[in-house]
C-alpha cells in the first residue's frame, strides 16, 4: 500500500521510499523516512497533493511522489 492509497485521518508507518537518490533525499529532508509515522490530513483526491503531518510539521506531497512511498497502516483505520 502507498501513501497515495490512504484516506484522510489514516496513520501509517513508512516502510520504504522507492525512487532515485534525489527523491529519497528530498523526502528524507522533509522527514519522510522508513520507520517514521505519518498522518494523512488531506488525501490527494481530485489529483491534488497529499497533506501529511510528520512530527510537528505539515508537508504536501505530490501524487507521483506519494505513490512511491510504501506504508503500513497503524491502528487498522
pLDDT in tens, 9-61: 999 999 999 999 999 999 999 999 999 999 999 997 778 899 999 988 999 99
- How far, in Å, CA of 42 to CA of 66, rounded? 12
The continuous run of DSSP H or E covering 16 comes out as strand 11-17
Cβ proximity of 52 and 40 under 8 Å: yes
Model pLDDT, residue 76: 60
What are the chain's domains?
Answer: 3-74 (2.30.30.90)
Q: Which residue has the cell 534525489?
A: 22
pTM of the full structure? 0.90
Amino acid at each position: 500500500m502507498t501513501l497515495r492509497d490512504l484516506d484522510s485521518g489514516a496513520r501509517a508507518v513508512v516502510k520504504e521510499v522507492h525512487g532515485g537518490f534525489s527523491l529519497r533525499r528530498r523526502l528524507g529532508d522533509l522527514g519522510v523516512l522508513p520507520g517514521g509515522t505519518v498522518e494523512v490530513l488531506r488525501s490527494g483526491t481530485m489529483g491534488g497533493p497529499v497533506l501529511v503531518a510528520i512530527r510537528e510539521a505539515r508537508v504536501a506531497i505530490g501524487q507521483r511522489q506519494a505513490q512511491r512511498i510504501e506504508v503500513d497502516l497503524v491502528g487498522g483505520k
